[in-house]
Amino acid sequence: MPFLDKLERAFGRFAISNLSLYLVMGQVFVLLGAMLGRLDLKLFVLVPALVPHGEWWRLFTFLLKPPSTGGMFGYVFVAFAWYIFYLMGNALEAYWGAFRYNLFLFAGFALTVGAAFLTPGAPATNAFIAGSVFLAFAHLHPDFELALFFILPVKIKWLALITWVLYGISLVRGDWPTRFQILASVGNILLFFGRDIWLTIRHRKKAMSRQVQKLAQTEPRHRCHVCGKTDLSDPQLDFRYCSKCTGDQCYCPEHIQNHAHVVAADETTAR
């Protein structure tokens, strides 16, 4: 995109490399601080209604709030979530470059904060920012295989499809804070991949149209009711329809004058 190229030329030197690693390390330190009783995770949550009352740090610290834990399995899940975010974030940075990946995360951050202020009394989460990283990776690498539960290999595109379905269900049945957070995440995806998605849809639509036309061309317009010859198998023949037969009965030149007329069952009974 030309606009992003201009931005990168102007501000690319300010890009932070390995940003995914720094975010994961920040969450690790915050979680350790909370486990040791030195930090209160509630102070890291973004609650927009509290920002005007001097708690401005919440605008940024929510990025460092680790996923919720619950027992030993919860810590395993958190470690796995960190690993996936780091893996996919690094892949996006390698694909885009540090500047564009930084911009992707910043756009997700800005949209999430903006969406949070639409329902200022509700806490916002960084989960949907991580979700946008996951969906972006799945869009670029749909056939990447992930070991689900460390055992079952599943292509990332199917997990992304499940994520989209869950997002759709939450948009219909969820509360408004959740809806706004999802829209912020989806908006970030569309901001960076909207053109690609649109071109893919157009390409598939044209391919489907060509397939339909191809199938239509393989279906004969005329078929002899007696011998089965068609305008495709014998294009030189002049096919005609018999006015004495019931329905549109087509015949080749050989059988137009030499065939048993097709008569409806009710006409036969009347005779």
Q: What angle do CA 198, 201, 202 make, to 5 degrees?
A: 85
pLDDT band at 269 (very low <50, low <70, confident <90, very high): very low
pLDDT in tens, 97-122: 999 999 999 999 999 999 999 999 99
Number of domains present in the structure of the chain: 2
The Cα 14–Cα 102 span in angstroms is 10
> What pLDDT was estimated at residue 165?
95
Mean per-residue pLDDT over the chain, rounded: 86
Q: Is residue 148 part of a domain?
A: yes
> What pLDDT was estimated at residue 268?
46
The CATH code of the domain that includes 178 is 1.20.1540.10
Note whether 32 and 88 are same-domain residues: yes
| 206, pLDDT greater than 80 | no
Q: Is residue 213 part of a domain?
A: no
State the residue range of the domain holding 177: 2-208
Q: Which of 161, 184, 208 is the last residue of a domain?
A: 208
Note whether 269 and 190 are same-domain residues: no
Closest-CA residue to 156 (of 176, 133, 174)? 133
| 270, pLDDT greater than 50 | no
Note whether 202 and 225 are same-domain residues: no
| 266, pLDDT greater than 60 | no
Note whether 225 and 259 are same-domain residues: yes
Which of the pair, 169 or 260, is modelled with greater confidence? 169
Note whether 191 and 245 are same-domain residues: no
What does pTM read for this prediction? Answer: 0.72
H helix and E strand count, the chain: 9, 4
Q: What angle do CA 17, 23, 25 make, to 5 degrees?
A: 105
Q: Which two tokens stand for residue 257?
A: 């004058």
The Cα 188–Cα 129 span in angstroms is 9
Q: Which residue has the tokens 């995770």?
A: 41
Note whether 185 and 144 are same-domain residues: yes
